[in-house]
Chains A and B, each alone.
Chain A
Amino acid sequence: MASEKQLSIYEDSTAAGFSRPLLLTPSEDLKGYIAAHVGRLLLFGITCVSVLAVLFIFIFVIRESLGFLLGHGLGGFLTSTAWHPESEPGEFGAVGMITGSVYVTVCSLLVAVPIGLLAAVFLSDIAPFKVRQYVKPIIEILAAIPSVAYGFFALLVLSPLMQNELGFTTGTNILNASVILAVMALPTIISVAEDSLSAIGREIREASYGLGATRAETIIKVVIPAAHSGIIAAVILGMMRAVGETMVVWMAAGNANQIPSPWWNLSAAVRTMTATIAGDMGETVQGSMHYRALFAIGLLLLAFTFTLNMISEHLLARARRVKGGGK
């Protein structure tokens, strides 16, 4: 057996030449300790800002609307369509706005979901890699266009078109707002759905092809069912975009507080919850019942989007688990 000397080309043990000490000096140690802890606290504080913001928004909205909810109760608010906040005594029926919001949201989803999902399937399973590389960023640009710009388009292009070509009595109506909202929801839907479809591994697709399935059968029977959580989440995220959007519906939906009659009349003008808040807030006296009623609408919206958000988070988490091969 070789002695230690023979294994080393150096004569003595320090000859490897470590020029700097391997132990921290006490002052270096202290500095490191302080830096690590101060840094951690700082970052924690900064992170807390956004968490606190959510909390404060909730508290603020609830506090401002509490006066209304205690004074008038939810009864008239959720059953009546009469919205005359400035008359004496004021009437605060929000049903017209709630149905308005539901109308534009549902109609926009009816347009956006089929288009969005088909586009997502095309991008994930059919388009060659090069096409996806260029098309996806372009679709995502749609999400970066300010909503006022969409509003212009609705007012100056779609509105006259509907009035003159389709013979609608007003160009600003449910259909107009829904089409624009659909375009705005598309990037979210396509992007999230495409991600969840692509996350379904190549192995699963190969298993299906290996059993003699065609591409269509593979997509419909295997890929889409496996990605269903992510796809539903995509739809809900698109829905949140449509529910919360203000500027476009204010500009394009016509702002008439009414329930369309007959119910399939999509050429009717409606007023949504968001447009009511944005439109009325500037005209109310701070602290008045009208002002507090607007906050009650805000609270309703908040509760709605909060629920949707929870559902989509849950579904996306489930989609990730399925992808990871969990149970």
Chain B
Amino acid sequence: MTLTLTQKGETVEESKILEKGEIAEDEIVVPCCDAANDAGSVVVASDFTLYYGSKVGVKNINMKIYPQRVTAIIGPSGCGKSTFLRSINRMNDLIPHVRTTGCLAVNGQDIYDKRVNLVNLRQQVGMVFQKPNPFAKSIYDNVAYGPKLQGMRNRVQLDEIVEESLNQAALWDEVKDDLKKSALALSGGQQQRLCIARALATKPQVLLMDEPCSALDPIATTKIEDLIGQLKSRYTIVIVTHNMQQAARVSENTAFFCLGELIEYDETGKIFTNPRVKQTEDYITGRFG
């Protein structure tokens, strides 16, 4: 962030403009990430900061997320881990008065550039939400929704994608005879796997999971975790979780967020056995405030 604000008055003025939802032209000039060219990482955040109005959501995040791995984000409630996750496919745009500084690059492209094609971004960076949220449509139509948005009309192709996605989400065997049934008739765990299948159907590169198991019972949770293990060979997965055991079980890398800042980011094994930062250790051992 090289935007220099010399006087207090200027700072206030700028935030006023931004609150109206306009984009400050100067911000485009920020040289976006040398890190963006960094080979080998899919998502690169450099000095990424997000504000809700005047409140800070996440602050100065510098983080690289690597492909074909599960990266877990842990931290206490309200620490900005979901905010950061939702920044990666710009879901925060839906909230009024959000603005960002710094840079967040996906596949080398700053996604907060004005010219970014949000449709393509979101289809390549899929998302699974905390609460299973299937549409009030049939199972088939839920999965086919994304491909249909891309303009796919060919029935045979659609059938293929639906079967493939449901297979990948380990749901095909349970629903193959009931594809026309309402998705709302499925159990919670099945609904969540359906939502994963729906996200996979758009052929994403990155899959963002926002506490995908927090509304599920232990058995459904086990299934989703197994599924994450199977998916990571093909996708880059970023998972936000409240459950530290889950992070330890499913992820290769773990990031610890606190009060909107990235405190520590390392291999999961190191974070859980030998964290560098005292705060991380306190949180993991349960001594956190």
Contacts and interface: CB of A to CB of B under 8 A. Distances in A.
Bound pair (A, B): yes
Measured as residues with beta carbon below 8 angstroms from the partner, the interface class of chain B is: 20 to 34
B131 A209 contact: no
A209 B121 CA distance: 11
A211 B136 contact: no
Contact of B184 (A210, A212, A225, A327): A327
A203 B184 contact: no
B185 interface: yes
Nearest to B208: A210
B236 interface: no
A212 B120 contact: yes
A222 interface: yes
Interface stretch (A61-69, A77-85, A213-221): A213-221
B185 A225 contact: no
A95 B118 CA distance: 58
A217 B120 CA distance: 15
B192 to A, nearest CB: 12
Interface string B181-214: 0101100000000010011001000000000000
Query: Which residue, B96, B136, B150, has most C-beta atoms of chain A within 10 A?
Result: B136
A212 B202 CA distance: 9
Interface in A174-227: 201, 203-214, 217, 221-222, 225-226
A210 B91 contact: yes
B184 A211 contact: no
Query: Which residue, A207, A226, A326, has most C-beta atoms of chain B within 10 A?
Result: A207
B135 A325 contact: no
A212 B135 contact: no
Nearest to A128: B96
A151 to B, nearest CB: 42
Interface residues of A, number: 24
A322 B199 contact: no
Nearest to B195: A207
Contacts of B133: 201, 203-204, 206-207
B137 interface: yes
B122 A203 contact: no
B122 A214 contact: no
A206 B94 contact: yes
Contacts of A207: 129, 133-135, 195, 198
B99 to A, nearest CB: 16
Interface string A72-102: 0000000000000000000000000000000
B185 A211 contact: no
Given A212-B122, A212-B202, A226-B136, 9 more contacts: A129-B96, A206-B133, A207-B135, A210-B127, A210-B199, A211-B122, A213-B149, A221-B145, A325-B184
14 contacts: A203-B131, A204-B133, A207-B129, A207-B198, A209-B94, A210-B127, A210-B199, A211-B123, A211-B146, A211-B199, A212-B120, A212-B121, A212-B122, A217-B149
Interface of B: 89, 91, 94, 96, 118-123, 126-127, 129, 131, 133-137, 145-146, 149-150, 182, 184-185, 195, 198-199, 202
